[in-house]
């Protein structure tokens, strides 16, 4: 069997591996862009498979494709979405900035799959009918981003917030000392602190929901420069209507295609919400690993699951590895945000030509955050237990309980008591009594942490 077959495009013939379903333009890209090795994200290929099916059905409705041709395209797209043909999409991120070769890769694979079923399709004339890479790749990018948020990030965030809610419910009355500026502060309930962690996950979800509304607007129908050349009237709405049926998400045409082809502001906005979530996860993970530090020489106020040995030299050492993984993921998301911001500021005239790098970084962030939240929840948060004895010890050893005495003895006298106790190594009560500011009974009545929360 011949290992290669000859395919052609407008530049001539080129040899393509005979066991592959792609064509000439995909092969040229493979040979011309041997850069990095990072493939186009699978989510982009899935999004293209949704888009190409919707475009085929809209074209059939407009009389530009026969029902047989449209169904052959749709059938191939459905198979692509299952992952059956993943190895047919080998192109790297670092290619043309419009993603043209990836659009053609999808067109060529669909055409070859249809040919195996007895339907002859041309990658450009039929699969790419009424389309341009300039409106399909931006549309696929929005579809992929919206689906990643809907199917991965938002469910993972909801589950993590739920785990924190369960922790709140399990310890409703446990009181601990608060800390601000890394210094002792007034008391609060452990459940109140955890509610803050829960909200740190939930608030960016509202931002992501708002950002999704921007991602739902698609460039499709703009074709090459935004004018809609070669697309039938109403094509953009017809495609979006089919996409709504296929995905369950409310995609709609961007009313200004000149904006849609050139601007990546919706992606910047959405990734900003991902960055906000990453920043909050960084804060939560840092809080937890500080409070779990020890076991004897740190804060030691939380017990977190012991998942694996922590040192190759120190026997028995266990580290807060899930917290470390979350914080590393957060750092990567922050780097990706910078890349997307720079990419969105570029491009000239009627097209942004930094689309694949934007897609790569956005989907990397979405995948990282979804996976990190799942891992953090299952391997850390759900097994986390407060060290009530250590919390109580630190609570009653804190000098900031003096705050509740200021109504009785005044701010300056309260400060004197705190400083005296610190300097002399005594308790707060001993300092207050030695200064003659309150009786023992009055102190005990005033300094009651449960009344301070």
Reply yes or no on whether 311 is catalytic: yes
Helix (H) or strand (E) run with residue 334 in it: helix 321-344
Query: By the 8 A CB rule, do 117 and 55 touch?
Result: no
Q: Which of 171, 160, 231 is nearest to 201 (CA)?
A: 160
Long-range contacts of 385-388 (CB under 8 A, 24+ apart): 385/302, 385/303, 386/171, 386/174, 386/176, 386/190, 386/301, 386/302, 386/303, 387/300, 387/301, 387/302, 387/303, 388/174
What's the Cα-to-Cα distance from 398 to each of 39, 177, 404, 418, 449, rounded to whole Å? 55, 7, 12, 9, 11
Reply yes or no on whether 132 is catalytic: no
* Catalytic choice (67, 311, 345, 440): 311
Distance between CA atoms of residues 88 and 108, nearest Å:
10
Contacts of 211 (CB under 8 A, 6+ apart): 149, 266, 269, 270, 272, 273
Phi, psi (rounded to 5 degrees) for 217: -85, 125
Beta strands in 347-393 (DSSP E): 385-386
Distance between CA atoms of residues 203 and 135, nearest Å:
33
How do strand 252-253 and strand 217-218 relate by DSSP bridges? parallel
Instruction: Give the N- to C-terminal CA distance of the chain in Å, as an integer.
Output: 79
Active site residues: 181, 311
């Amino acid at each position: 069997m011949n290992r290669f077959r000859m395919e052609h495009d407008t530049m001539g013939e080129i040899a393509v591996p005979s066991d592959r379903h792609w064509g000439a333009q995909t092969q040229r890209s493979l040979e011309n862009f041997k850069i990095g090795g990072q493939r186009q994200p699978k989510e982009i290929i899935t999004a293209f498979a949704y888009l190409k099916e919707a475009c085929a059905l809209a074209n059939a409705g407009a009389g530009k494709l026969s029902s047989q041709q449209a169904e052959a395209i749709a059938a191939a797209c459905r198979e692509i979405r299952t992952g059956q043909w993943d190895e047919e999409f080998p192109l790297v991120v670092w290619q043309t900035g419009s993603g043209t070769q990836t659009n053609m890769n999808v067109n060529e694979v669909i055409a070859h799959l249809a040919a195996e079923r007895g339907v002859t399709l041309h990658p450009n004339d039929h699969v790419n009918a009424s389309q341009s890479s300039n409106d399909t790749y931006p549309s696929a990018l929005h579809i992929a981003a919206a689906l990643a948020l809907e199917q991965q990030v938002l469910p993972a965030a909801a589950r993590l917030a739920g785990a924190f809610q369960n922790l709140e419910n399990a310890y409703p009355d446990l009181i601990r000392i608060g800390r601000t500026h890394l210094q002792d502060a007034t008391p609060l309930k452990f459940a109140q602190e955890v509610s803050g962690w829960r909200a740190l996950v939930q608030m960016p979800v509202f931002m992501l929901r708002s950002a999704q509304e921007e991602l739902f607007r698609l460039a499709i129908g703009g074709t090459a420069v935004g004018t809609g050349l070669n697309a039938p009237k109403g094509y953009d709405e017809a495609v979006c209507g089919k996409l709504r049926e296929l995905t369950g998400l409310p995609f709609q045409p961007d009313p200004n295609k000149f904006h849609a082809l050139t601007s990546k502001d919706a992606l910047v906005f959405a990734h900003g919400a991902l960055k906000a979530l990453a920043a909050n996860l960084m804060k939560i993970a840092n809080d937890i690993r500080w409070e779990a530090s020890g076991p004897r020489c740190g804060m030691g106020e939380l017990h977190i699951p012991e998942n694996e040995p922590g040192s190759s030299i120190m026997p028995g050492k266990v580290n807060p590895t899930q917290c470390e993984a979350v914080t590393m993921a957060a750092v990567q998301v922050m780097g990706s945000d910078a890349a997307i911001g720079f990419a969105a500021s570029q491009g000239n005239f009627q097209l942004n030509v930094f689309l694949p790098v934007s897609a790569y970084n956005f989907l990397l962030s979405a995948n990282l955050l979804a996976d990190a939240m799942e891992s953090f929840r299952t391997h850390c948060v759900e097994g986390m237990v407060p060290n009530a004895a250590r919390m109580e010890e630190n609570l009653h050893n804190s000098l900031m309980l003096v705050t509740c005495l200021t109504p009785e003895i005044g701010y300056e006298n309260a400060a004197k008591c705190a400083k005296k106790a610190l300097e002399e190594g005594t308790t707060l009560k001993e300092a207050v009594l030695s200064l003659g500011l309150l009786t023992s009974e009055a102190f005990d009545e005033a300094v009651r942490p449960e009344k301070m929360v």
